[in-house]
Amino acid sequence: MITAGIDIGSRTIAAVVVENKKIISTKLAYTGFSPVSNAQNIIKNIKADKIIATGYGRTLFEHHFKSDTVTEIKAAARGAFELFPGTRAVLDIGGQDVKALSLNDKGKVIKFEMNDRCAAGTGKFLEIMADSLGFDLETFGEKASSFAKKITISNMCTVFAESEVTSLLAKGENPEDIAMGVHESVSKRALSMIRRVTSSNQIFFSGGVAKNICIKKILENYGFEITAPEDPQAVVAYGAALTAADNLNGE
């Protein structure tokens, strides 16, 4: 039995195909201005017994392709728990949302928080701050890790934080130092969400921001044991694909 999951996010679309719970292919594309057509392109050669959509664009996908859907919360939990069965807490930081989940010993969601109304603490926030400092998003974490002194970024609102960064640059502050301040503020916001849903210090870290080595290191410095998969952007899509298999098996 082959099933697929497609996670249509604000910034990227991930599609995962599984057979007997094992990933056999993964595809990733930018969401762009036409998420439906981009989603169609990414799945057009996928042959699966069932496909389930998740993410921001799941209702659009459901409407156009008559597909079942699952929430990002359930898909994130399903994917994380399958990859690491001992998972009790999940932190997923994507392009425009942050999810903090607490799971029971069967991988079911006990409690969760989700920030999807503000860019603060998200991948988009980091992208804007990186651009303001003249860094590429892909190397932003590395640049921040080479800081010389700590600088506090007091604003988490994207507009005000960008203004604060510009002001710090005008005062002659080192861009790497400011970058570390940005990463600290993002990490603290994520940690406050995690602490409201779980007391566990073992965190499964997924989403595009899980690729950022600086965020991971800061979380570890706060005493958390961080587990990040090889492809953190595919976890939610993987969870959707597993949910599709569960449905076919009557689970």
Res 38 pLDDT > 90: no
Cβ burial 89-107 (10 Å sphere, 16+ → b, else e): bbbbbbbbbbbbbbbeeeb
Cα angle at 105 between 88 and 53, to 5 degrees?
70
Contact by Cβ (8 Å): 97, 114? yes
pLDDT band at 10 (very low <50, low <70, confident <90, very high): confident
pLDDT of residue 118: 75
pLDDT of residue 70: 97
SS3 97: coil
Superfamily of domain 85-228: ATPase, nucleotide binding domain (3.30.420.40)
Query: Between 3.20.20.70, 3.60.20.10, 3.30.420.40, 3.40.50.2020, what CATH number should domain 1-84+233-251 receive?
Result: 3.30.420.40
pLDDT of residue 100: 97
pLDDT of residue 154: 87
pLDDT of residue 37: 86
Domain ranges of the chain: 1-84+233-251, 85-228
